[in-house]
Structure 1
Amino acid sequence: MKKVVLSILLVGNILQFAAQSKESEIDEVNIQGKFLTLPVKKVNENVTVIRREQIINSPAKSVEEVLAQFTGFDIRRRGGNGVQADISLRGSSFEQVLILVNGIRMSDSQTGHNSMNLPFDLASVERIEVIKGPSARSFGQNAYAGVVNIITKTSDEEKVIVSANGGDFGTYSLGVGANFGSPKISSFIQVNTSSSEGYRYNTDYKINNVYYQNEIALQNGNLKFQAGIQEKKFGANGFYASPNAIDQYEETQASIVSLGLKQNFSNFKFNSNIYWRRGQDMYEYVRNRPEIYRNMHIGNNIGFEANGTYHSGLGNTGLGVELRKEFLASNNLGHRERFITQLFLEHHFSFIQNKLNVSPGVSWANYAEEGN
């Protein structure tokens, strides 16, 4: 059976953001519709843009702590200081919220528990863009309750950012980031490490991040590259199974590599990305006793997406395609893989002197084994 998802959004001025006075300072919301870039006043979804100034002035030490300060989010954390966090929006499961880094999906082939494994610390984040509400017609799988896009940014301004903090139980964090380059080629690199002996038995952790981002300015466009890896080792006292399972232990790795091209051709804008996201998860029910129970999962997502936007007298038309191959190798689940094809189409109309915005859209997905 073929299933097509069709949605139409009608929003007038009466549905502007509650914080319109602040958000109007933002010129564009880049993740709207995946390929349509629109001024905030014309965005139909409930969009929140968390700016750099808000992040700096926040007492938060991680991305999930920043998100916890905004309505609609339910953050379920295991451990402290970014060890593990599940993001829920408006009562959804954490599998129904799509996490992006600079527009690249961080969804893990094994479990949504690892979607927030980000290869950089909060000092590297330029802003966070959030769409609250169903967004599957524009982003596909995992976007049923919303989308969180975490943006980092290069700069040709040469500067170094050093962040450090410490606390009880041998807890510390140290990070160094640097921007360098020229107006033509700009780069950003960040290295971070954090550790703790744990606030109770078997809650110690060690986290290491390395992240690099590069942008090359082209005529009427740019070429962007990013690569990062994170490694975590932590005691998982009571994380899974039962609160009485106090000897659990886990090690995870998450890496991302992507190359993106944006190009403007008069009334047509083109955007494409090719990416590879790898995740590894090793779990022991009893720490250092793998013979009792041990799981090892390795997941790889390799994908390509291309989106185009055409501006005409009738409005903005966006068309996108995404091709993705997902692999999962597990000593428990075996070897699994699937190929996913997704197509997206939407159009943005404005009527009555831009007071009424209408955005019809349609998405289609094919899973190689399950069908359409």
Structure 2
Amino acid sequence: MYKTIFNKRSSFKFTHFSNKGYSLFSCLGKEVIVGTLSVASLTNARANSISNDVAKIDTSFYKNGKEVVLDEVNVTGSRAPLTRSQQTRMVTVLSREDIQAAPVQSVNDLLKYAVGVDVRQRGPIGAQTDISLRGGNDEQITILLNGINICDPQTGHNAFDFPVDISEIERIEILEGPAARVYGTSSLLGAINIVTRTPSKSSISAHVEGGSYGYASAGARANIAKGNWNNSFSTNYTRSDGYTRSKNGNLNTDFDGLKAFYQGNYNDNDIVVKWHAGMSTKGFGSNTFYSAYSDEQYERILKTYTAIQAENRYGKIHMRPSIYWNRTMDKWELFRDNADAYPFNYHRTDVYGVNLNGYFDWIAGRTAIGAELRNEDIVSTNLGEILSEPRHIHGTDVDYTHGLSRTNIQFVLEHNILLKRFTLSAGLVAVKNSWAEMNMKVYPSIDASYNITDNWKVYASYNTSLRMPSFTDLYYNSKGYNANKELKPEELAATEIGVKYHSQAVNASVSGYYNHMENLIDWIVDKNADTQTLTTTNFGVINSVGVEANMDINLLRLITGQRIFKKLNIAYAYAHQDQKKYEGIVSQYVLEYLRNKFVANLQMNIWKQLNLGINYRLQNRNGSYVVSQNPTTKEYTYAKYSTYGIVDARLSWDMPKYSLYINGNNLFSKGYRDFGNLKQPGCWIMAGASINMNI
């Protein structure tokens, strides 16, 4: 699970968090609390030696006349890096140990156990999953890879196509709540950052898995570390037959995917430079994911990622520039391998970005500044405006006939007042987007936290943000779909208060929030309309309230003398929206939020190196979905989402250089639906082995 932070005044060392300058905290300039994790499937390991005494902490030293920032101080490493006791926001941190202990095969599956995260799975093994926070949708969060924004402006459905296998992830950082001054225009309700690992020593690793429904996966990694240089390359292939067939008896949830990732860094006393390049390609049977007209849909996606980042490690002003380019190529088939029945949809999206973040200290506190220029460009067979000249699609006899390009500019200013037990952080972001000739808009925010004692902390925040419509929201017109290119940007203002307690044996937190949402975008059907076509629209005003609570118990410390029960975690989230004026509306996202979610996890050591983790997840979703259509009257029949509970488990023999394991998902074959009328798989058993060696 997350790394619990304990008080230890005898020494001061931040080695648990390493010196990852590209982490979400480090590169995006938001002061956060590394707090109690709302995840019930993950282990709770200790992270010692982080002091709460701000007066004793000095974040720099002088070497050869230069001020040098200590590596270990990068706990948050934000635009204005702060010590733990100074933080004003709560962040969920899933460590590498947490990931290895969970019975999952993808990041998408792992996030199911985070109580504040809504995971609506369409296809297995992360083939396609919509992930959102606090009652939002998949378009309303920022997704980052090593601190680089990799959100896809075409659609959020494929946002989690990472080029790295889950075994190569160092940690996952989740921040809930709007923060436009930190993450930009796509962070209406928060952000999820995937941080990859680069071992400090040269090493190799490999893993292989197999299981139900024809599932098979294999991957390998090699890392070369020499002096100030470190280079790592990894690759992984996964496939499955899927768990359903079409009416014609053909596979329609099958999946295959290949990932390859290279990353490197140079690190000395003066500067840190990091770079990465990755590729993810996958094809999957998409059943009726997008339309009820066919249950043999298919999609093939190719994504590439490149980025370079740098940071100076001395001086009064600390700067962090970065530049990146992400490309997505998408082909969707309404009828698999049958373009004559309905033409295939082709899309190519390119995102170019450059940003500069920095901070400096002065007599009034710590000030952070930032600026970003991001261009989003698409060419497509049906998304965007008609091109003056069609562009040929390589390898086909089809042309791109539509396209759109828009540029987003943002400037950020943030200031932090740091006292012994109190921190006040305030700032704003100024945003201008070339789409629809949008004028410059300013979004303010303010956060505060106070350490009542060494064990108790209270915090409060007010944050605002916005989100631009995706290209699909604006332009997708097809059978049963009618987009609206006059959509307005979504806006949200959120207030949150919370309290956190931590000790050697127990960590707990409770928070409550109120979201005021305007112009939220969704695909809806009006039950009372003559023609029931999915149409994009801006809702008026929707207000949402929610509560999240979690408790993590170290059973080895709480019940001394026993060595079997190691950790217990329980968490609960409740949300409610004021939706009375939208009665009769069937929503695909906005009105289909998780009303209740409960997660629990028990980690045990059965014998020697034999470990067992048991996970439980209970969910209750608001909203309804289409079950069938009367062929004569054309009227739809609707059903409400049912409450369901799922039990997963992982049994593993864990040694320093290798691990043998068996994962069981949905052990009692509970039938359930996360999205529409798509039934999810029953019991799924997988077994595997991994090895890791220094060279």
TM-score after normalising by structure 2 = 0.49
1:109 corresponds to: 153
Mapping for residues 22-33 of structure 1, pairs under 5 Å:
25=48, 28-30=74-76, 32=78
1:131 and 1:89 map into 2 onto residues whose CA distance is 9
Cα deviation, residue 22, structure 1: 6.7
Mapping for residues 60-99 of structure 1, pairs under 5 Å:
60-99=104-143
Cα deviation, residue 18, structure 1: 4.1
1:360 corresponds to: 426
| The one of 300, 311, 324 aligned to 2:350 | 300
The answer to whether the aligner puts 1:273 opposite 2:322 as a matched pair is yes
| The one of 343, 347, 354 aligned to 2:415 | 347
The answer to whether the aligner puts 1:251 opposite 2:300 as a matched pair is yes
The answer to whether the aligner puts 1:149 opposite 2:193 as a matched pair is yes
Cα deviation, residue 269, structure 1: 1.3
Instruction: Name the stretch that deviates more: 94-103 or 58-67.
Output: 58-67
Using CA pairs below 8 Å that are at least 6 residues apart, which structure has the higher relative contact order?
1
2:209 and 2:344 map into 1 onto residues whose CA distance is 34
For the structure 1 residues 31 and 300, does the alpha-carbon distance in structure 2 shift closer, same or farther, using more than 3 Å as the test? Answer: farther
Cα deviation, residue 24, structure 1: 6.5
Counterpart residue type for residue 114 of structure 1: N
Counterpart residue type for residue 227 of structure 1: A
The answer (yes or no) to whether the contact 1:283–1:294 under 8 Å persists in 2 is: yes
For the structure 1 residues 290 and 42, does the alpha-carbon distance in structure 2 shift closer, same or farther, using more than 3 Å as the test? Answer: farther
SS at match of 2:139: helix
Give me the CA root mean square deviation. 2.2
Counterpart residue type for residue 378 of structure 2: L
1:22 and 1:348 map into 2 onto residues whose CA distance is 31
1:247-273 CA-to-partner distances (Å, cap 9, x unmatched) read: 101001111100111112323211011
The answer (yes or no) to whether the contact 1:169–1:198 under 8 Å persists in 2 is: yes
The answer to whether the aligner puts 1:309 opposite 2:359 as a matched pair is yes
2:338 and 2:37 map into 1 onto residues whose CA distance is 53
The answer to whether the aligner puts 1:371 opposite 2:371 as a matched pair is no
1:63 and 1:40 map into 2 onto residues whose CA distance is 27
Cα deviation, residue 99, structure 1: 0.4
1:228 corresponds to: 278
2:263 corresponds to: 213
1:4 corresponds to: none
1:43 corresponds to: 87
The answer (yes or no) to whether the contact 1:109–1:300 under 8 Å persists in 2 is: no
1:139 corresponds to: 183
The answer (yes or no) to whether the contact 1:24–1:40 under 8 Å persists in 2 is: no
1:6 corresponds to: none
The answer (yes or no) to whether the contact 2:260–2:280 under 8 Å persists in 1 is: yes
Cα deviation, residue 335, structure 1: 1.0
For the structure 1 residues 279 and 31, does the alpha-carbon distance in structure 2 shift closer, same or farther, using more than 3 Å as the test? Answer: farther
Counterpart residue type for residue 361 of structure 1: G
Counterpart residue type for residue 353 of structure 2: G
1:128 and 1:29 map into 2 onto residues whose CA distance is 14
1:57 and 1:156 map into 2 onto residues whose CA distance is 22
Cα deviation, residue 31, structure 1: 6.7
For the structure 1 residues 16 and 98, does the alpha-carbon distance in structure 2 shift closer, same or farther, using more than 3 Å as the test? Answer: closer
For the structure 1 residues 112 and 254, does the alpha-carbon distance in structure 2 shift closer, same or farther, using more than 3 Å as the test? Answer: same
Cα deviation, residue 23, structure 1: 8.1
For the structure 1 residues 72 and 23, does the alpha-carbon distance in structure 2 shift closer, same or farther, using more than 3 Å as the test? Answer: farther
2:262 and 2:315 map into 1 onto residues whose CA distance is 32
Counterpart residue type for residue 51 of structure 1: S
The answer to whether the aligner puts 1:328 opposite 2:378 as a matched pair is yes
Counterpart residue type for residue 214 of structure 1: G
For the structure 1 residues 29 and 130, does the alpha-carbon distance in structure 2 shift closer, same or farther, using more than 3 Å as the test? Answer: farther
The answer (yes or no) to whether the contact 1:31–1:129 under 8 Å persists in 2 is: no
Number of equivalences: 356
Q: Over alpha carbons, which structure has the higher Rg? A: 2
The answer (yes or no) to whether the contact 2:34–2:84 under 8 Å persists in 1 is: no
Cα deviation, residue 49, structure 1: 1.2
1:248 and 1:254 map into 2 onto residues whose CA distance is 20
SS at match of 2:182: helix
1:131 and 1:113 map into 2 onto residues whose CA distance is 20
The answer (yes or no) to whether the contact 1:29–1:129 under 8 Å persists in 2 is: no
TM-score after normalising by structure 1 = 0.90
1:222 and 1:16 map into 2 onto residues whose CA distance is 24
1:329 and 1:286 map into 2 onto residues whose CA distance is 22
1:154-202 CA-to-partner distances (Å, cap 9, x unmatched) read: 2341111111100123210001012112131001111100111222211
2:179 and 2:202 map into 1 onto residues whose CA distance is 38
The answer to whether the aligner puts 1:182 opposite 2:230 as a matched pair is no
1:125 corresponds to: 169
For the structure 1 residues 296 and 10, does the alpha-carbon distance in structure 2 shift closer, same or farther, using more than 3 Å as the test? Answer: closer
2:321 and 2:300 map into 1 onto residues whose CA distance is 33
2:209 corresponds to: 165
1:212 and 1:150 map into 2 onto residues whose CA distance is 15
1:131-168 CA-to-partner distances (Å, cap 9, x unmatched) read: 11111121111111011111012234111111110012
Counterpart residue type for residue 271 of structure 1: R
1:322-343 CA-to-partner distances (Å, cap 9, x unmatched) read: 0111100011021100111111
The answer to whether the aligner puts 1:264 opposite 2:313 as a matched pair is yes
Counterpart residue type for residue 330 of structure 1: S
Counterpart residue type for residue 282 of structure 1: K
Cα deviation, residue 313, structure 1: 3.2
The answer (yes or no) to whether the contact 2:31–2:82 under 8 Å persists in 1 is: no
- The percent of aligned pairs where both chains have the same amino acid is 32
For the structure 1 residues 356 and 235, does the alpha-carbon distance in structure 2 shift closer, same or farther, using more than 3 Å as the test? Answer: same
For the structure 1 residues 106 and 31, does the alpha-carbon distance in structure 2 shift closer, same or farther, using more than 3 Å as the test? Answer: farther
1:67 and 1:29 map into 2 onto residues whose CA distance is 22
| The one of 406, 420, 423 aligned to 1:338 | 406
Instruction: Name the stretch that deviates more: 336-345 or 155-164.
Output: 155-164
| The one of 278, 285, 289 aligned to 1:239 | 289
1:19 and 1:79 map into 2 onto residues whose CA distance is 27
The answer (yes or no) to whether the contact 2:91–2:173 under 8 Å persists in 1 is: yes
